[in-house]
Amino acid sequence: MPIVEIEPELVGSVDRKKWNRLRPDGIAYGYSSIHPDYDVYIPTKDNPYMIRRDAIDGMEHTTLADSILALEAKVQLNPNDAKTWEELGLKQQENERDRAAIAALERAVLLDPNCLDAWLALAIAYRNEHCRMDAFNCLEQWIANNSRYKDILREELGVYHKDGIKRHDYITNVFLEAARTSPGSEEMDADVQVGLGVIFNMSEDFNKAMDCFKAALLIRPDDYQLWNKVGATLANARDNSGAIEMYMNAIQINPLFVRARYNLAISYMNLGQHQEAAENLLSSLSLQHAAALSINEIHGGVPTELHDNTSSSMWDSLRLLMYMMNHEDLASQCDFHHLEAFRGYFNF
């Protein structure tokens, strides 16, 4: 049991009246997300770092789960730290928690619109959540707050807010013009290529998207996020075998990358390789659940039970997979998020 029970607070609520700018016709052209989960960040209950605050920066964080706990403590202690909100959002994105990522990243750009990595990550998260107009808005804000490209925006922001096709074409042309400002491989901006890759993914131009992500990889070959993006694009194009190779590259660079492991599991499922799919799903859930050894060290070596922050969508995928493998007994364990029940059946 934890030493002190700390009730979670709603951290980083976005003031929509302050955030949404209005055109003369009264239509907001800032964010347009409507799901309440995007508006607040709910931190982990019973976070040990709120008790031992000296350990937030004073100890090594060896798992993704541990890093997130430390960052959550930091933003609770300093809610106006834009860069920490940005880092927290990026970590939650790696953790396959897009809604939590959006809440943190929105807070970052509200505090500091110059958090360019946050704008780009928000575009990707909104794309994953099927909020296309929000994704376009974030890509436009990445340009608008980038001193290198902001002069490209010659038209009023939000001019195509209501028309999805025109909005897509407009944002595409803006990013293509940004790419033309640095045409050579040595001068190429990898982030512009990532933005184009996201745009082409939304229009299902998967070959163009792959070309953009691969161009970015020429500049950042050790970027595990980029390898995952190439894999996801191949998977969207129904090339699951090719996607698996890309996901494996990402995991080789960062073995703790939950999103790539989850994507890898889905590609194995699509290929009918159920054992491999199950083991990667379970590894993903285990990484989400894990608290680093340093957490127990905070309490003097006493094991600490943390709130379950595993993904319901992963458990749903695992439940379906267990039925496909005729493991009805294990499928029922998914309702209780009981990882240990799978030991002995699968390696993870």
Distance CA 145, CA 185 (A): 24
Phi-psi region of 305 (alpha: psi -120 to 50; beta: other; left: phi over 0): beta
Distance CA 255, CA 297 (A): 23
Distance CA 191, CA 121 (A): 11
Q: Contact, 196 vs 205, CB < 8 A? A: no
Alpha-carbon distances, residue 132 vs 167, 201, 277 (angstroms): 10, 11, 29
Q: What is the pLDDT of residues 247-268, one digit of tens each?
A: 999 999 999 999 999 999 999 9
- Residue 320, both tokens: 């379906």
- For domain 240-348, which architecture applies? Alpha Horseshoe (1.25)
Q: Which residues pair with 22 in a beta bridge?
A: 28
All residues at 6 or more sequence positions from 137 whose CB lies less than 8 Å from its CB, including other chains:
29, 30, 31, 32, 158
Q: What is the pLDDT of residues 183-198, one digit of tens each?
A: 666 679 999 999 999 9
- At 78, the amino acid letter reads N
Please give the pLDDT value at position 297. Answer: 59
Domain borders along the chain are 240-348
Q: What is the pLDDT of residues 268-277, one digit of tens each?
A: 999 999 999 9
Residue count of the chain, please give it.
Answer: 348
Q: What is the pLDDT of residues 279-291, one digit of tens each?
A: 999 999 998 887 5
Distance CA 20, CA 29 (A): 7
Average pLDDT over residues 10-22: 40
Q: Contact, 213 vs 233, CB < 8 A? A: yes
Please give the pLDDT value at position 3. Answer: 28
Please give the pLDDT value at position 9. Answer: 39
For the chain, give the longest Cα–Cα distance. 64
pTM of the model: 0.84
- Residue 27, both tokens: 């239509």
Please give the pLDDT value at position 305. Answer: 56
Average pLDDT over residues 226-244: 97
Q: What is the pLDDT of residues 18-75, one digit of tens each?
A: 333 333 333 333 444 556 668 889 998 888 898 888 889 888 888 888 899 999 999 9
Average pLDDT over residues 116-122: 98
Please give the pLDDT value at position 321. Answer: 97
Among candidates 242, 191, 193, 237, which has minimal Cα distance to 215?
193
- At 197, the amino acid letter reads G
Instruction: Give burial (CB, 10 Å; 0-12/13-18/19+) of 329.
Output: exposed
- Residue 8, both tokens: 């979670």
Count of CA atoms in the C-beta half-sphere (13 A) of 99? 13
Q: Is the pLDDT reported for residue 4 higher than 70?
A: no
118 pLDDT band, cuts 50/70/90, is very high
